[in-house]
């Protein structure tokens, strides 16, 4: 994957807010510190799709985090609708039938499909409770290999798995990591977390950050601090490659 040159493009701000007016206010407060926004169920089901279209029209990138999983025909046509919006990323769950249908639905567009391996709020105990016979690491690796073979554009994974997944999927697939917490931030309901610098160093391409930005007293400053951290690590990596 060609990593975006501008570190701002590698930060995806999760607009986990209850209304479009809240989202509009947050985007205005963040201003130029971020260019990429994630919209999930909370905002998406509260009028967030027209808002997403407005962001795209304004030159922003949009990640629709809907984690789709359904029969193939439904996935194919739903993904095609998202592709027509002009969104950059869309998530589906990493089940083979779902991923195949999503790839077909996005064909011919610029929409990039991301497969969700194992939610970052899950640990080994949670998987056991859900009836899985694999622990987090092996299950993530298995789903990553399936996604690679099917032609998925990228993976959503914990930053803890990023380095290992590079060995599975190579450099062509994007790794998008939630569970990012700047030093000193509360973990919240995330169980597999990492700082921005460590996640980038581990091989993450994009960092998804929500509460540490949207709940900050100064959201623009919080976003800019993460972008600066990404830029610093990226510069160090470029120097090491020279």
- Per-residue pLDDT of 92-103, as tens digits, reads 999 999 999 999
Q: What is the pLDDT of residue 193?
A: 55
pLDDT band at residue 185 using 50, 70 and 90 as cut-offs: low
Q: Which residue has the higher pLDDT, 211 or 187?
A: 211
The model's pTM is 0.89
Helices 49-57/20-30 angle, 10° precision: 30
pLDDT in tens, 139-170: 989 999 999 999 999 999 888 888 889 889 98
Active site residues: 67
pLDDT band at residue 220 using 50, 70 and 90 as cut-offs: very high
| Cα dihedral sign, 171-225-191-119 | negative
Please give the Cα distance from 178 to 155 (Å, whole number). 11
**What's the average model confidence in pLDDT over 115-132?**
91
Does the pLDDT of residue 182 top 90, yes or no? no
**Is 7-241 CATH 3.20.20.70?**
yes
Lowest-confidence pick of 77-86, 104-113, 151-160? 151-160
**What's the average model confidence in pLDDT over 59-72?**
97
Q: For residue 182, what are the CA distances in angstroms to 36, 96, 127, 140, 169?
A: 18, 34, 27, 24, 27
Mean pLDDT computed over every residue of the chain? 90
| Cα radius of gyration (the chain) | 17
Does the pLDDT of residue 28 top 60, yes or no? yes
% residues pLDDT > 90 (the chain): 71
Neighbours of 130 (CB within 10 A): 8
Q: Are 66 and 41 in contact (CB under 8 A)?
A: yes
Q: Which residue has the higher pLDDT, 191 or 67?
A: 67
% residues pLDDT > 70 (the chain): 93
DSSP E strands: which ranges in the chain?
Answer: 11-14, 36-39, 61-68, 89-93, 112-116, 154-156, 174-177, 206-209
Two tokens, residue 146: 């399936």
CA contacts within 13 A on the Cβ side of 73: 0
Q: What is the pLDDT of residue 187?
A: 45
């Amino acid at each position: 994957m060609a990593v975006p040159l501008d570190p701002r493009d590698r930060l995806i701000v999760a607009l986990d807010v209850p209304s479009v007016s809240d989202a509009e206010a947050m985007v205005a407060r963040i201003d130029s510190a971020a260019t990429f926004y994630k919209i999930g169920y909370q905002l998406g089901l509260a009028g967030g799709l027209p808002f997403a279209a407005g962001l795209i029209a304004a030159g922003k990138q949009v990640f629709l985090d809907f984690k789709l999983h359904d029969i193939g025909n439904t996935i194919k046509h739903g993904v095609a609708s998202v592709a027509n919006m002009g969104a950059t990323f869309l998530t589906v769950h990493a089940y083979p039938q779902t991923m195949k249908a999503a790839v077909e639905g996005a064909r011919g567009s610029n929409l990039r499909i991301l497969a969700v391996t194992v939610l970052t709020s899950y640990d080994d105990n949670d998987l056991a409770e859900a009836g899985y016979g694999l622990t987090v690491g092996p299950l993530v690796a298995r789903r990553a290999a399936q996604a690679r073979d099917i032609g998925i554009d990228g993976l959503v994974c914990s930053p803890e798995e990023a380095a290992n997944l590079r060995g599975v999927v190579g450099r062509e697939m994007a790794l998008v990591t939630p569970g990012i917490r700047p030093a000193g931030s509360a973990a919240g309901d995330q169980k597999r977390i990492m700082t921005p610098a460590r996640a980038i160093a581990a091989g993450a391409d994009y960092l998804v950050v929500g509460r540490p930005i949207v709940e900050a007293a100064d959201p623009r400053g919080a976003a800019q601090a993460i972008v600066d951290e990404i830029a610093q690590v990226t510069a160090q990596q470029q120097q090491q490659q020279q």
